[in-house]
Structure 1
Amino acid sequence: MLTFIIVLVLVLGVNTVLWTVVGGLRVARSKIVGRPPRAPGRIRTENVSVLIAAHNEEQVLDGTIRSAQELVPPGNVYVVSDASTDHTAQIARERGANVLELAINRGKAGALAAAISHFDLTERSDVVMVLDADTRLSADYMTTGLPLFDDPDVVAVAGRATTVVDPLPATRFGRFLIAYRERFYVAVQFLLKYGQAARRVNVVSIVPGFASMYRAHALKSIEISAPGLAIEDFNMTFEVHAKKLGRIEFHPGAAIAHTQDPDTFHDYRRQYRRWALGFWQTVRRHGFRLGRFGGALALFVAELITSSVMLLLALPIILVSTGAWVWVMVTAETTGPAWLISQYVPAWAVLLGVFIPDYLLTILAASVTRRPKYLLLGFGFLGIRVVDAAICLCALPAAFRATSTGMWKSPARRTTHTAPQRS
């Protein structure tokens, strides 16, 4: 039993328990269980600029621009085409967006910084939304998200991510992958991020770049295009904390948007490595500072490493323990290494200690999304989580050995728009 408890704590982590409790207290205090009030906020949509960075996104960009233009004036949408070689810029112009074309691939961070400067967005807007080219905004994104800025201390609103299910991936494995990502979003956003965003806590570690909003004046102080980083959103969030710009708000019922997740193993592995590498590079750049955010980050990093190691060691430990048990049963030994292993590291304890907390996340995701099929798929999610652990640990030393150029290539998209014919 002791082995089971130790493994369960290592896999589930103190972070999950801590921030789930804080989130529960936040719900109890505010008496908000579902979506936040949709009363008009002080910031109007006319004063929101939507900025989309895109590199060869002709398959999905049209739908993204449409979803944004349904919520803000069409002229408030800005697209920066980062050295695209397809019809990305043409599609954006046809949809009435303001377009900046870059001749050299600067990476997403460099493209965002160039567009903010070129269009002077920090002066012409109260709020700037950063939007990925494959994102679809929910119809109430603004009515739920903008009122969170009524608190003058809030400088950023983190969007809530959900995975796109229309169109569905063509393969069963692709559908399995996006279901796994949906479970990840539910677990992180409901169990961690909501508690981390509590008013007196303010330790949110990422304002995701797929669909989030910043006060325009705060962007002036953020070094968006920091050199050597694979991705920008972790760094932008760490900059908010490091420069004490204000509070990051998040509510699971507000600012909801849908993103396309990779649906092939190759794309998933490459994309997850980019995320993991970007996180470790950002930690390397900013380090651990004194204060709430630094303490929360140190706790998260420690548990990320220990849980990843535990997940990778679980199968070898189970095999060794099973072998030891078989040896004891055959030889009837009551002493020796095999007997000690079978007694104090039983295979069932390790297996249940890893599987139970993981499957509890699946139950939560199935409940929140109302997709009971996740309960069946959840038996396979642990395998992908082990892959995540391996990628995460491999990316750690890579982040300290070399820097990244920031140049990017998006995963293969599921087509939502028919691109114009090439001339």
Structure 2
Amino acid sequence: MSNPAILLVALVVFLFVGANASFWTAVSAVRALRERRLRLHEVPQTLTSTALRPRDVAILIAAHDEERGIQRTVRSTGQHVPRSNVFVASDGSRDSTAAIARAEGANVVDISPNRGKAGALEHAIRWFRLADRFEVVMLLDADTVLGPDYLDSALPLFADERVVAVAGTARTALFPGPTSRLGDLLITHRDRMYVVMQYLLKFGQAASFANAVMIVPGFASLYRTRILAELDIAAPGLVIEDFNMTFEVHAKRLGRIAFDPRVATAYTQDPDTLRSYIAQVRRWNLGFWQTLRRHSRMQPRFGTLAAASVVEITISSLLIALAPLLVLASFTVGLPEVVACPSLEEAAARFPALLLLAAFFAADLALTLVALCISRRLAFLRWAPLLPVLRWLDALLCLQAALLSLRRSGDGRWRSPVRR
């Protein structure tokens, strides 16, 4: 392959990877090198009396009709904090969620009528006076199970007094397993995107010199309680709360958000049916676009970085959404005609749709290989040919949500999830 052909392929692949993603990947590499150099020269320190301990942490779980998973989640918290530090906001549950949580030793408040997750969190924080009693509150979803070293690895990130929130590292829970092969494909795609986005983008965004994390996920993350009064947790018109809470931290200059994908890991039960997957992704995207509209004026640095991300998300979604048209275009061209082209440059000139389509699959395969190297999960490779289809679906849902956000608000009330 000639040098111009290599450059052409690299340029098109870069189009699908994106300048913003490439920039944050470079920042992630810089951060990793800086931290490695610091570790080589650091002096071991003993635990001081001011260091945060598990007893300083309250775990707050908002739940709506979660009888299938609440026991497992509450039990997992008991490995990290005293059970008296576990609080459950049962938001209009019509099943035995509250009874199961109480039986496991959690403090429970029944909320009726239901207010949605954000409203339930805000009510429970006041009801249990968590800001007065604890230094840190963990917001935990009812389907989340914490990794065994979650707090041991997360609390040291608060050693920097400027850190006001620690974003948890998300991984897909593999047990209980999916109920179908389609379900296995869905959760494999989700786990792959968790790995890629967190290691290549979010790790760089959380560098102390950047402080540009765009989401502290509500599934398992930590906040200093001293900033809770500053956050408009249950802001009106939003379908989800975690994007808004993150943007509030930046907009009000409350402090740094820390994140490291190698620590503070928690496992969430991702959807394994297409209907549930579409509903969740649409809701996440709608919450993202609604938050952008609500926080249209941000501090200059974060606002600029966020705007660059939004522009690229929009462009890449448009490009990926065109993939079916590229497939159709490729079928209008006879394969022998393509093979007969003497060079890649001529094939690209005569059949640009094929080049774009090939670049999309090449870029997606690159993401798969990166995720495989990081996590060593062979399922990424097994499902590699079909993973681009879900990228296409994600792109469609992102664009749809952008349009919906122009005319649709929400009160954050629950749609009961389907749990395994």
**Unaligned 5+ residue runs, structure 2?**
341-345
Post-superposition shift, 1:214? Answer: 0.2
1:10 to 10, 15, 34: 15
Post-superposition shift, 1:94? Answer: 0.5
2:401 to 382, 395, 404: 395
Post-superposition shift, 1:326? Answer: 4.0
1:320 to 325, 329, 334: 329
1:14-163 counterparts in 2 under 5 A? 14-31=19-36, 42-163=51-172
Equivalent pair of 2:157/2:258 in contact (CA under 8 Å): yes
Task: Provide the C-alpha distance between the structure 2 equivalents of 1:193 and 1:391, rounded to a whole number of angstroms.
Answer: 22
Post-superposition shift, 1:321? Answer: 5.1
Check if 1:355 corresponds to 2:361.
yes
Deviations 1:138-191 (A, max 9, x none): 110011000000000000000000000011012111111111110010011001
Instruction: Tell me the SS of whatever aligns to 2:109.
Output: strand
| More deviation, 231-240/37-46 | 37-46
**Percent identical residues:** 48
What amino acid is the match of 1:7?
A: V
Q: 1:40 to 1:13 in 2, by over 3 A?
A: farther
Post-superposition shift, 1:253? Answer: 1.3
Corresponding residue of 2:217: 208
Corresponding residue of 1:404: 410
Corresponding residue of 1:335: none
Instruction: Tell me the SS of whatever aligns to 1:161.
Output: strand
What amino acid is the match of 1:8?
A: V
Task: Provide the C-alpha distance between the structure 2 equivalents of 1:299 and 1:26, rounded to a whole number of angstroms.
Answer: 20
Alignment size in residue pairs: 404
Instruction: Tell me the SS of whatever aligns to 2:139.
Output: strand
Structure number with greater CO (CA < 8 Å, separation at least 6) is: 1
Q: 1:175 to 1:342 in 2, by over 3 A?
A: closer
Post-superposition shift, 1:223? Answer: 0.4
Equivalent pair of 2:348/2:355 in contact (CA under 8 Å): no
**Unaligned 5+ residue runs, structure 1?**
333-339, 415-423
Corresponding residue of 1:218: 227
2:370 to 349, 364, 368: 364
1:158-307 counterparts in 2 under 5 A? 158-307=167-316
Equivalent pair of 1:272/1:391 in contact (CA under 8 Å): yes
Q: 1:318 to 1:32 in 2, by over 3 A?
A: farther
Corresponding residue of 1:413: 419
Q: 1:345 to 1:82 in 2, by over 3 A?
A: same
Equivalent pair of 2:330/2:354 in contact (CA under 8 Å): no
Deviations 1:362-381 (A, max 9, x none): 11222222222321211101
Task: Provide the C-alpha distance between the structure 2 equivalents of 1:342 and 1:277, rounded to a whole number of angstroms.
Answer: 37
**Aligned CA-pair RMSD:** 2.3
Deviations 1:300-336 (A, max 9, x none): 111111111101113313432553x449959x9xxxx
Equivalent pair of 2:62/2:121 in contact (CA under 8 Å): yes
